Structure 1
Amino acid sequence: MSALVKLTDVSKFYGSIRALEGVSLEVHAGEITCVLGDNGAGKSTLIKIIAGLHQHDAGSFEIEGEETRLGSPREALDRGIATVYQDLAVVPLMPVWRNFFLGSEPTKGFGPLKRLDAARMREITRAELLRMGIDLRDVDQPIGTLSGGERQCVAIARAVYFGAKVLVLDEPTAALGVKQSGVVLKYVAAARDAGLGVVLITHNPHHAYLVGDRFVLLKRGGMAGSHAKSEIALDELTRQMAGGSELDQLSHELARATGPDVIGGKRVATDEG
């Protein structure tokens, strides 16, 4: 079965600045592909290419086997790619159901009597959230009163309802505590189980390993590794993301520099010496 989304040796340059170079990944239905990397690794640029905000300068970008070059986020949505950004495009004082349908509200009536079908929107919002296992107290409550994790879950359920085939999640657990992160990861897995291909962008290898099927590691805009879950253990994934040999060298230097006989990097005399 062909990948829903496939990037092969994709690169993006801003003048002489290399934002992304030679990055490849595949997104399959019913799987979660995790993209890991520290700040400046190229994760944001990769998101923008998949979401249609930016076009790649080299390499190929395929959607369901067809090479493409997205011109806008709307075009990406029309092709079944929904992106949920970390800051979430919600209106805090509007109720949950209004945010669920924001920009795509169903109406009823004709001509001057045309109006929003609020009852239908409330019913659909409640049903879709329940289908994803999200049991809100009241869909009329302002979305700003929900926790960060609950708002992320509403955004995921919205993408599923509006027919997304690929769901791109930008650091969904970055600003959340342990419990709320667990809630969000549960719904990320629910989206996968609903048949979506999920791209999870994160700098947390523990979160990635809990739900991920494939892992792509980025470093300074390039590929630092690509693994199926069966090929790599959590410890090795963490080590590679942290820098591998660079981390080993740093540990060695810190251990040497912080020994009992060293101050400011210089060996000092002790009573024993």
Structure 2
Amino acid sequence: MTTATEPTAGRTSGPAPLVELEQVSKYYGNVRALEGVSLQARAGEITCVLGDNGAGKSTLIKIISGLHGHDAGSFRIDGEETRLAGPRAALDRGIATVHQDLAVVPLMPVWRNFFLGSEPTRGRGPLRRMDVEFMRRTAHAELLRMGIDLRDVDQPIGTLSGGERQCVAIARAVYFGARVLILDEPTAALGVKQSGVVLKYVAAARDAGLAVVFITHNPHHAYLVGDRFVLLKRGTMAGLHTRDAITLDELTRQMAGGDELDDLRHQLERPEPDVPRGAAAADEERRRP
């Protein structure tokens, strides 16, 4: 099994990664948010980043999405050393981020949220207006292409379930040309059925040729769709594995703390009650035929 200390850990034959981080670190003053983290995102594959709260997942998202710059290491897009100037620069390079809280307006219809901030228009000058029919038609067609069959794209997006809203955001990113899709805990606040719906569309994005970076704290969800797994702990890498190199049980064990969990189990075990020697002898005498 490969280990996270190897610079090339997790590399596989095939197309070059669209996004690659190698030994990337990020510091906020004296606080170490990330140190020595490596990750690859390839077209048609899902890279899962797992870790508890405070593990460094949010910082990693901010670096890939262009919100924050890295302080050390290498960040490459299409093999080119890169330092993004901001989220718009990331979008221009085909990197889209779907955040957990979603940037939607609940009372606006689905089609309006689908094009929010990028509305197509028709006409010129004072006659210029939004092309509503195009937006309705395109939103319905693109959602259907991802396998999302909504009865009415005019319904407020707030009436959709949490899983359906996540799926609309994924379809939107695909339509606007994303090549790399970062999903920030898309199943965190969802039940089992809704999580299954989202995971189906995560797989659909992969099958559409996108490189997906799936941030999660749930190893079961990760193992259902993941091709490789990056484990973070307190800002450092606790593991880097391909799917064929680790089982779900081992992934869950490492995610849960591994050896630290075993130590805790030993500490919490109840000691055997002390039985007075005389009482033990009397009890043994009673059991004799």
TM-score band (shorter)?
over 0.9
Name the residue aligned to 1:25. Answer: 39
CA distance in 2, matches of 1:182, 1:250: 32
**RMSD of aligned Cα (Å):** 1.4
- The residue correspondences of 1:105-254 to structure 2 (distance < 5 A) are 105-254=119-268
Aligned residue type for 2:108: M
Name the residue aligned to 1:264. Answer: none
**Counterpart pick for 2:82 among 68, 71, 79:** 68
**TM-score (structure 2 length as normaliser):** 0.90
Number of residue pairs matched? 266
CA distance in 1, matches of 2:177, 2:277: 70
Name the residue aligned to 2:284. Answer: none
CA distance in 1, matches of 2:63, 2:70: 6
CA distance in 2, matches of 1:99, 1:272: 75
> Offset at 1:260?
6.1
Aligned residue type for 1:82: A
Indicate how the Cα distance of structure 1 residues 268 and 174 shifts in structure 2: closer, same or farther if over 3 A, else same. Answer: farther
Name the residue aligned to 2:107. Answer: 93
CA distance in 1, matches of 2:37, 2:120: 40
CA distance in 1, matches of 2:174, 2:279: 69
Aligned residue type for 1:41: A
Name the residue aligned to 2:10. Answer: none
Larger radius of gyration: 2
Aligned residue type for 1:18: R
**Counterpart pick for 1:35 among 37, 49, 68:** 49
Moved over 6 A (4+): 267-271
> Offset at 1:137?
1.5
Flag structure 1 segments of 5+ consecutive residues without an equivalent: 262-266
Matched, 1:11 2:25: yes
**Identity over aligned pairs, percent:** 79
Name the residue aligned to 2:287. Answer: none
> Offset at 1:251?
1.1
> Offset at 1:123?
0.2
Indicate how the Cα distance of structure 1 residues 111 and 229 shifts in structure 2: closer, same or farther if over 3 A, else same. Answer: same
Name the residue aligned to 2:11. Answer: none
Aligned residue type for 1:187: Y
> Offset at 1:269?
7.4
3-state secondary structure, aligned to 1:198: strand
